[in-house]
Amino acid sequence: MLDWSDGFVAAGGKQLEYAVHGPKPGDKPVIVMLHEGLGCTALWRDVPAKVAQATGHPVFVFSRAGYGQSDLADLPRPLDYMTREAVDVLPDVLDQIGAEGFILMGHSDGATIAAEYAGRVSDVRVRGLILIAPHFFTEEMGLAEIAKAGEAYETTDMREKMARYHRDPDNTFRGWNDSWLAPGFKEWNVAEVIDYWRIPCLAIQGRDDQYGTLAQIEEIETRTYSPADIAIIEGAKHAPHLEQPEDTLAAITEFCERLDQMEAAEPEGL
């Protein structure tokens, strides 16, 4: 088990930065937070600390390769890079945390990675999913926004702003933007992983999300066999945890409390 202090963890052949919040792992599952396509540990801002305080759960947040102060990503990324993060990298991270239980909480790309882990990897330690603005398939409006981001990176001070948080902003941006806009990525679809979930899920999306429609959430409602709570956050776009933090935190806290009650009600030995 890792020391419950900030540092670096070896996973997928890379050194990845991480930060911890809340109590040391114990009776409650560790909430593992997976950031968006241009995010990192620092860009969650105060959300991890607030989640730890509100839920009483330990919180572990890390930057994937190519993000924050982690090792750089190998580019170009393969079109199935989110699947590879789920099956090749995340298991290393969870094993080294060493806790008995986990809740995977992801935003955007991170939500997709969490969803894929739950659908592709048999791991009884994972007790629940919190998915913020997940992507299961491409949509034209989302791809158009990603193309706009590419233009902004070339013509504005976006690179300089990203350099405050990422050791190599070109590696960060190209690893995300070039992958989503690559030929062939329009056909990307991993919605089948939902069919294999056997744990409760909370799906959160801003009503005005510019990167994905509510069809992404409807896919969960249509396909999952497990309990699914849906929270559509009014007045929020792609980052409801930052744009409407109180409503989003309330949904997360309620979900975690319900999971805690379910855990407490399970007979020992099962």
- pLDDT score, position 16: 98
Nearest CA to 60 among 95, 85, 109, 87? 95
Per-residue model confidence as pLDDT tens digits over 199-243: 999 999 999 999 999 999 999 999 999 999 999 999 999 999 999
In sequence order, what DSSP letters do the residues of 30-59 get, joined into one string? EEEEE--TT--TGGGTTHHHHHHHHH---E
pLDDT one digit per residue (tens) for the chain, 270 residues? 788 999 999 999 999 999 999 999 999 999 999 999 999 999 999 999 999 999 999 999 999 999 999 999 999 999 999 999 999 999 999 999 999 999 999 999 999 999 999 999 999 999 999 999 999 999 999 999 999 999 999 999 999 999 999 999 999 999 999 999 999 999 999 999 999 999 999 999 999 999 999 999 999 999 999 999 999 999 999 999 999 999 999 999 999 999 999 888 866 554
Q: In what order do the strands lie in the sheet with 201-206?
A: 7-11, 14-21, 59-62, 30-34, 102-107, 126-132, 201-206, 228-233
d(CA 217, CA 67): 27
Nearest 5°: the CA angle 16, 20, 23 is: 150
How high is the mean pLDDT of the chain? Answer: 96
Percentage helix, strand, coil for the chain under 3-state DSSP, each rounded to 5: 45, 20, 40
Asked if residues 19 and 43 have their Cβ atoms less than 8 Å apart, the reply is no
d(CA 49, CA 65): 23
Nearest CA to 35 among 10, 54, 16? 16
- pLDDT score, position 265: 82
**Contacts for 117 with CB less than 8 Å, ≥ 6 apart:** 86, 87, 90, 91, 104, 123, 126
H or E element, residue 235: none
- For residue 138 the two structure tokens come to 């491409």
Second-level CATH architecture of 7-264: 3-Layer(aba) Sandwich (3.40)
- Residue 8: beta bridge partners? 17
Q: Where are the domains of the chain?
A: 7-264
Nearest CA to 228 among 91, 134, 120? 134
Distances (CA, A) of 135 to 236, 252, 260: 17, 19, 27
Strand, coil or helix: 202: strand
**How remote is the C-alpha of 85 from its chain's centroid?**
11
- pLDDT score, position 268: 59
- pLDDT score, position 267: 66
Nearest CA to 193 among 97, 252, 265, 106? 106
Asked if residues 243 and 235 have their Cβ atoms less than 8 Å apart, the reply is yes
**Percent of the chain scored above 70 by pLDDT?**
98
